[in-house]
């Protein structure tokens, strides 16, 4: 590949590792490409949809002129798989923060789980987690949360196309979900636990698809570096 391939534009499929931020993944590719092809400081590169550091999976990175495609890619439906731990909540709705409340789970059966799923398909209202990057009063919500400030978060409309449980090993359940842009899977885990008259938080999350792009075709940032450096 030549420098022009990346300045003219490419869509790169990256399998983001656990604990990496999306920003770190973009920076890694930017560093690799600039060093290999001696690209200018004005070289454009960006991702089409953030993944939390505690999530893994498909991160689409666009370069050069293809950065114009980012909004179009972000708008496509997404698919995730993951694990919800029932019986406990955390302020961040995932493992970023410690458990703050525990609830009984003895009443939860496979029948109750399956009966509760339909509440979370179709167009639903959900509140983003207080530990999220949405701005409120000029500050990101997680900045308010870390400062111990209470903020009113408005519920937003989102669409869940499919929501199924793929493993039930109470208090854990594995799931697969297909959803629209702007859906918070952490909020889905929290709200699902609440609907079961218990609690719930996300303990694992993997993005598997964005539109027709599939994580099966993605490579890690380190594999990308190896591939680029071994090309003539």
Report the pLDDT value the prediction gives residue 140, as an integer from 0 to 100: 62
Report the pLDDT value the prediction gives residue 229, as an integer from 0 to 100: 87
Report the pLDDT value the prediction gives residue 144, as an integer from 0 to 100: 55
Check whether 153 has a pLDDT greater than 80: no
Report the pLDDT value the prediction gives residue 148, as an integer from 0 to 100: 64
Confidence class for position 17, pLDDT limits 50, 70, 90 = very high
Report the pLDDT value the prediction gives residue 132, as an integer from 0 to 100: 62
Angle between helices 22-37 and 221-229 (to 10 degrees): 10
Report the pLDDT value the prediction gives residue 205, as an integer from 0 to 100: 98
Check whether 134 has a pLDDT greater than 70: no
In this structure, what DSSP letter does residue 93 have? S
Q: Report H helices in 61-217.
A: 70-74, 110-116, 141-146, 185-195
Residue 206 has which token pair?
């993997």
> Partners of 207 in the beta sheet?
57, 80
Q: What is the pTM (predicted TM-score) of this model?
A: 0.91
Mean pLDDT of 6-26: 95
Q: Torsion angle, CA of 168/209/15/98, rounded to 10 degrees?
A: -40
Residue among 92, 47, 101 at smallest CA distance from 185: 92
Report the pLDDT value the prediction gives residue 8, as an integer from 0 to 100: 87
As a whole-number percent, the residues of the chain with pLDDT over 90 amount to 77
Residue 28 has which token pair?
């890694």
> Partners of 163 in the beta sheet?
177
Check whether 4 has a pLDDT greater than 90: no
Check whether 146 has a pLDDT greater than 80: no
Check whether 232 has a pLDDT greater than 90: no
Scan for tokens 């090309």, then name that residue: 231
Check whether 137 has a pLDDT greater than 70: no
3-state SS, residue 14: strand
From CA 195, how far away is CA 55, in angstroms rounded? Answer: 24
Q: Which residues are catalytic?
A: 52
Residues 6+ apart with CB under 8 A from 164: 117, 175, 176, 177
Mean pLDDT of 183-191: 95
Report the pLDDT value the prediction gives residue 74, as an integer from 0 to 100: 94
Residue 120 has which token pair?
């979370």
- Residue 160 has phi, psi (to 5 degrees) of -105, 115
From CA 209, how far away is CA 59, in angstroms rounded? Answer: 9
């Amino acid at each position: 590949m030549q420098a022009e391939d990346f300045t003219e534009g490419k869509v790169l499929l990256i399998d983001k590792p656990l604990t990496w931020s999306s920003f770190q993944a973009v920076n890694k590719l930017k560093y690799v490409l600039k060093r290999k092809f001696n690209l200018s400081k004005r070289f454009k590169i960006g991702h089409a949809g953030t993944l939390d550091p505690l999530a893994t999976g498909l991160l689409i990175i666009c370069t050069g002129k293809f950065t114009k495609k980012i909004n179009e890619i972000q708008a496509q439906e997404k698919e995730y798989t993951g694990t919800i731990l029932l019986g406990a909540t955390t302020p961040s709705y995932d493992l970023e923060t410690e458990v703050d409340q525990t609830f009984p789970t003895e009443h939860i059966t496979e029948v109750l789980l399956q009966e509760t799923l339909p509440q979370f398909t179709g167009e639903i209202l959900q509140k983003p987690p207080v530990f999220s990057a949405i701005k409120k009063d000029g500050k990101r919500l997680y900045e308010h949360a870390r400062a111990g400030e209470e903020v009113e978060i408005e519920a937003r409309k989102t669409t869940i196309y499919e929501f199924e449980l793929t493993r039930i090993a109470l208090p854990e359940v594995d799931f697969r979900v297909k959803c629209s842009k702007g859906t918070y899977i952490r909020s889905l885990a929290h709200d699902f636990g609440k609907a079961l008259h218990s609690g719930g938080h996300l303990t694992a999350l993997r993005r598997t698809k964005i539109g027709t792009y599939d994580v099966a075709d993605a490579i890690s940032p380190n594999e990308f570096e190896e591939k680029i450096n071994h090309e003539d």
